[in-house]
Amino acid sequence: MKPREMYATQTVIQRLTLDLDTSDYWVVAEAVDKLRVMGLKPQVFKTRNGYHVIARFPKDWPPRGFWELIQLRRDLGDDPKRIQHDIFRVGLGLPTDILFQIRRGIEHYVEVDI
């Protein structure tokens, strides 16, 4: 197995991130509720274009692989372009699941309660 393939199939994922490009509170609330039902404690941040959601998996959870995480992100409404970008990047052995907090030196992040 090539290193790139190993990354895509064997890397243990420790967090889930979502980029929800919507101003619709209820779309975000639904994703957050689903994560809470799974036993996660998501953090939600208001961005210029919508919301970022970050949830860390507990250490005692079963490992999550790249493809399982991709499906979960799809189910929760993550930006489809971001998902496609990550599928491309994993094939090159590059980091995936990246959220930008600062762009062009301007911070666009404010934590919110949902």
Pairwise CA distance, residues 113 & 98, whole Å = 22
Q: pLDDT for 77-114, tens place per residue?
A: 999 999 999 999 888 888 777 776 545 444 455 556 66
Residue 29 in contact with residue 22, Cβ under 8 Å? no
CA distance 54 to 48: 16
What is the pTM assigned to this prediction? 0.76
Closest CA to 77 of 104, 50, 57, 56: 50
Mean pLDDT of all residues belonging to the chain: 80
- The answer on pLDDT for 28 being more than 90 is yes
What is the rounded CA–CA span in Å between residue 79 and residue 22? Answer: 10
The answer, yes or no, to whether residue 2 has pLDDT greater than 50, is no
